[in-house]
Amino acid sequence: MTLQQERQKARLAAVLLLTTIIAILLQAVGLRKTFVLDHQTSYVFNAIDDRANGGETTSSISIVEDKFLLECDIVKATYQWPYCEISFNLADEENRGVDFSKYEYIKLWLRYVTPTDTGIRVQLRNYDDLYSTAGDDTTYKYNLIEFYERNTPYPIIVPLKSMHVPTWWLVSQELPLDKIGTEFHDVRSLEIATGSAIESGHYKIEIERIEVVGKYMSDRVLYLVLLCIWGLAAFVYLIFKAGYIKSELKLSERRQKELEALNRLLNVKSRKLEEKLSRDPLTGVLNRDGIAELFNGTDYSQKVPKLSIMFIDIDHFKKINDNYGHNFGDAVLVKFAQVLSENTRENDILARWGGEEFVLACPNTELSFASQLAEKLRKCIENYGWPHALPLTASFGVAQMQKESPTDFIERADKALYTAKAQGRNRVVVAGWSQL
């Protein structure tokens, strides 16, 4: 896989990761939808009390200074559980309520004006065909919570998950087990009522604003969507990876055939090379005469395709001999050849050209790969732990054989080396090619 493809893959993974993080953060702290009830609401509202149950409580609702004011004269006499409430009818023209199933909490700007020592009840009445009868609100499920507003920070936040369904209503409806929990998918009314165990007296509840706040998408759905996106990305990656592996296998087969052809050619010349090749007695690598056989013949570029070489010169080697002596310099040469040999390929051929200069021949190697290999060797040399913390570096001249004589080929690589030295050393310079 090319470097550009690797970068594209990394960018795609980064985009997916960033998108996931942003989506989760927005789900946690942003992207909220809000249902609002205030004095400007278009929903019908009215005051309700216990007279429908035989009680004597009276109630009224008015708007004072842009706030709802519920006033109740509670009479605890003929009805055991007196109450009054403001009820907002949320059903639309088609008699469908509001779906609060993806909402999280209710935010209430309300308080008792007088007195302040009794509870407040918040109720969401849900309709369901299984247990509700249209027009009979006693069959609408009570989802409620009761609290004392004097003990609660203002505005009051009521999580929907804190609500419950009262036992007396469940018993009266005889619901199946899977329906006894709270439900908010078709809320027909929202009610603010006086609390239980209330005493007789005059009560005022001031309601400035009611907000029901929730998410556009539930956490479960969001995580499922993100999982699908990552799964799709992985699936697409596997498809491309399979195609890449298939193309690599074909390329490997072609390279194997080229290598077999090269091996046959090298085997033909192996005896002659074994007779003539000689090695440098100090470093153990080929010497100049030993590698010269590789360039015999003016048509060698056709026999060994994509032949590349690099000339390598130790920077400021004379100073090493002057400062540390020739024995130390010889040890550096030995270790230098060893570092090069350990970081090259099996088919690469290393030779000491003379003094501190080496040549590395790379059969079946494109110029671009040879320059990458040279850069790798340059870094290995620079980062190697040399004796006496010696800051040893090397310069490289790289060339690929074209339709030219071996002499011209070597000369181009040698010139590239001198260019590297002239430009400050410790660098790789690639030789250009022109037929002119």
Q: Which residues are known to be catalytic?
A: 356
Cis peptide before 391 (omega within 30 of 0): no
Report the 10 Å Cβ neighbour count for 310. 29
DSSP for 78-102, please give it. Answer: SSSS--EEEEEE---TTS--B--TT
- The sign one gets for the Cα dihedral 22, 27, 29, 33 is positive
Provide the terminal-to-terminal Cα distance of the chain, rounded to the nearest Å: 36
Q: CA dihedral defined by 400, 405, 410, 411, rounded to 10 degrees?
A: -110
- The answer to whether 187 and 163 are in contact (CB under 8 A) is no
C-alpha distance from residue 402 to each of 100, 416, 418 (Å): 76, 15, 20
Tell me the CA distances in angstroms from 266 to 92, 261, 304, 327, 369, one per residue in order.
90, 9, 9, 37, 22
Contact by Cβ (8 Å): 97, 126: yes
Task: Decide: 86 and 46 in contact? Cβ < 8 Å.
Answer: yes
Q: How far is CA 359 from CA 10, 305, 348, 374, 397, in A?
A: 37, 18, 10, 11, 10
How far apart CA 286 and CA 279 sit, in angstroms, is 4
Taking alpha carbons only, the member of 347, 364, 346, 353 closest to residue 394 is 353
Cα separation, 220 vs 285, in Å, equals: 66
Element (H, E) at 140: none
Alpha-carbon span 221 to 420, nearest angstrom: 61
Cα–Cα distances in Å, from 177 out to 171, 249, 331?
Answer: 12, 61, 87
